[in-house]
Structure 1
Amino acid sequence: MTESYIITFISHDTELNLSEIETFITKTLAVEDATSKQLSPRAVDYYFITDKAEQLKSLIKSELAKKVHNYDIILQKQSSRQSKKLFIFDMDSTLIYQEVIELIAAYANIEDKVAEITERAMNGELDFNQSLAERVLLLKGIDATTLWDELKLKIQLTNGVKELCKALSKLNIVMGVLSGGFIPLAEFVKQELGLNYAFANTLGVDSSNKLDGTTIGPIVNGDKKAELLLEIAEKHQINPKDAVAVGDGANDLKMMSVAGFGIAWNAKPKVQQLAPSCLNTKSLLDVLYIVGYTEKEIESLIN
């Protein structure tokens, strides 16, 4: 089926070489009659009509896997680009730089053990529920009295995320964080960024207020994230096609699949291959280029 598409090129750090990009468009992707719109020195759009979108997606994935380009390439339908009404984010290594469970593990000097399990889970090598249970069990005995207050001081928000959420709020977009981490910090991040929703796991504590090595209630895994995204969309009468899911791990792929669009943020290799789009820059604010805003428009939204 012939439809109008947009390919966006976003540089990881330097200005784009437009002549190189145009050669890539015409020679490598074999896209003809594309018209361009520069969003900023680091981002440019190409508009075109094609009936070979699936072949282009495969070709783009293949090119990006070679890691020879200093830019990301995002393909999307023109009709749905600025219809986004819901943004759902993962938390650990997405909205924040850290993996919270590893921060907790540092209290018992077992962060290396926990980090190894986390890495395998995020790569999709381990079942998430099983990996979470194994890691949480390792935390047993840690004093939770001041744990969350101490961790709030250590949390580092990802570069550009405050500005991104401010802009999305101005655009009346509903926002939420769905985390395989833990609810006290997900709620903290929600407040810091002005999000509408926060869902995450709850750690069990014993009578002396020490972590007991268990979680309480349903696990927020990949399936649950997808379910919650659909529930939030329904609550706000938003078509899931107008939702965007942003994350870095294998457990974020399900919510990307039920959303209209997915963005893998500096993600694991397997996730980069399977996600609808990838963003590997230094600022989450660059998401706004994917949605089609120019540098000047972005400045207006965040100021």
Structure 2
Amino acid sequence: MSYVINVIAQGDSFPEDSLAKVEEFLAGVQISTKVLNACRAVDYEFFLDISEVEAFRANFKVHSFPKGLDVSFQTNIPAFRRQKKLFVFDMDSTLIYQEVIELIAAYADVEDKVAYITTQAMNGEIDFSESLALRVKLLTGIPAGKLWDELKLKIQITQGAKELCIALKRLGCVMAVCSGGFLPLANHIKETLGLDYAFANQLAVDDATNTLAGHTVGDIVDGNKKAELLKTIAQDHGIDTDLAVAVGDGANDLLMMAKAGYGVAWNAKSKVQDLAPCRLNSKSLLDILYILGYTEAEIRELTV
């Protein structure tokens, strides 16, 4: 069966001699090199007998590749790379740079307390639903009237996100944001990026004072819910989950990565990078297309 080692430079170019180090790891197999971007991305394609795959995968997982590279091992079958049909994204620290709950917390001068709990949750040190309840309680009393309009002006879309979504739409992909954040901004991101679905948590408002009530209403979008939503969207569109990709940065994204055919840990917490199928620590989300095997020229055509 055909396999590929995909290598992406985290910076603007490959660190000196870094590709030679990758090729040393591959010395035991006959490789065919496909340049995706002369400065930043390359595929090494090769064949393995089925009896060799597990040993190769085990060696790959423990191997220390040069710093400044993101290296992934994939089955080199078009259906598992270039023919993806569903993308489900996390929002905070993935499609946008900020953690929205921390922006809200600044209104009550409790951002440090909220950020500490957020870090614990994203590292998997505390249950997400529990962490959400603790953080939302700290937001009690914040005026809700202009909150979301003001936050829309503060959030920053991650570099490459718009271009990636343009490309995926042209490729016929269904796209969703499934966020542990909050629905008003998830809907805003959905409209901004042209996504098909937005799911997130809803903050309760005290009608008498028009302030945040300190709790959520409705289902909590935690790790289990994200995985469930990915499966539901796939079923609704008749898409095999093997053709789905999940992208996120936190521990609560790992279950949807496991449900999808492939998962990408985007500038993620260390635990997530260790457990996710693939890691990407570059500056642009558009680099996901290199992971799927697209060349620089093809990406340019998809994004103009």
TM-score, normalized by the shorter chain, greater than 0.5: yes
Matches within 5 A, 1:193-232: 193-207=193-207, 208-232=209-233
Q: Identical aligned pairs, as a percentage?
A: 57
In structure 2, how many angstroms separate the alpha carbons of the residues matched to 1:122 and 1:254? 13
Residue 29 of structure 2 is matched in structure 1 by: 32
Task: Deviation per CA, 1:174-199: give whole Å up to 9, x if none.
Answer: 00000000000000000000000000
SS in 2 for 1:6: strand
Structure 1 residues 69 and 252 mapped into 2: Cα distance closer, same or farther (>3 Å)? same
8 Å contact from structure 2 (residues 163, 303) kept in 1: yes
Task: Deviation per CA, 1:30-73: give whole Å up to 9, x if none.
Answer: 44111010000200001111233333334333335x7x421100
Residue 179 of structure 1 is matched in structure 2 by: 179
- Structure 2 alignment gaps of length 5 or more: none
71-80 vs 94-103, greater mean Cα deviation = 71-80
In structure 1, which of residues 10, 13, 18 is the aligned counterpart of residue 11 of structure 2? Answer: 13
Residue 132 of structure 1 is matched in structure 2 by: 132
- Structure 1 alignment gaps of length 5 or more: none
Matches within 5 A, 1:149-168: 149-168=149-168
The Cα of 1:16 is off from its aligned counterpart by: 2.5
Residue 46 of structure 1 is matched in structure 2 by: 44
Residue 69 of structure 2 is matched in structure 1 by: 71
8 Å contact from structure 2 (residues 82, 294) kept in 1: no
Task: Give structure 1 regions of 4+ aligned residues with deviation exceeding 6 angstroms.
Answer: none
- Tell me, yes or no, if structure 1 residue 284 matches structure 2 residue 281: no
Residue 103 of structure 1 is matched in structure 2 by: 103
- Tell me, yes or no, if structure 1 residue 242 matches structure 2 residue 226: no
Residue 255 of structure 2 is matched in structure 1 by: 254
- The letter of the residue matching 1:279 is L
8 Å contact from structure 1 (residues 29, 59) kept in 2: no
8 Å contact from structure 2 (residues 15, 68) kept in 1: no
In structure 2, how many angstroms separate the alpha carbons of the residues matched to 1:278 and 1:54? 20
8 Å contact from structure 1 (residues 256, 263) kept in 2: yes
- The letter of the residue matching 2:10 is H
Q: How many aligned positions are there?
A: 298
Residue 148 of structure 1 is matched in structure 2 by: 148
SS in 1 for 2:81: coil
- The letter of the residue matching 2:225 is K
Task: Deviation per CA, 1:160-218: give whole Å up to 9, x if none.
Answer: 10000001011111000000000000000000000000000000011221100110011
8 Å contact from structure 1 (residues 98, 155) kept in 2: yes
- The letter of the residue matching 2:2 is S
Task: Deviation per CA, 1:274-301: give whole Å up to 9, x if none.
Answer: 0000000000000000111111111111
TM-score, scaled relative to structure 2: 0.95
In structure 2, how many angstroms separate the alpha carbons of the residues matched to 1:133 and 1:15? 43
TM-score, scaled relative to structure 1: 0.95
In structure 1, how many angstroms separate the alpha carbons of the residues matched to 2:178 and 2:284? 20
Task: Deviation per CA, 1:239-269: give whole Å up to 9, x if none.
Answer: 0000000000000000000100000000000
8 Å contact from structure 1 (residues 88, 178) kept in 2: yes
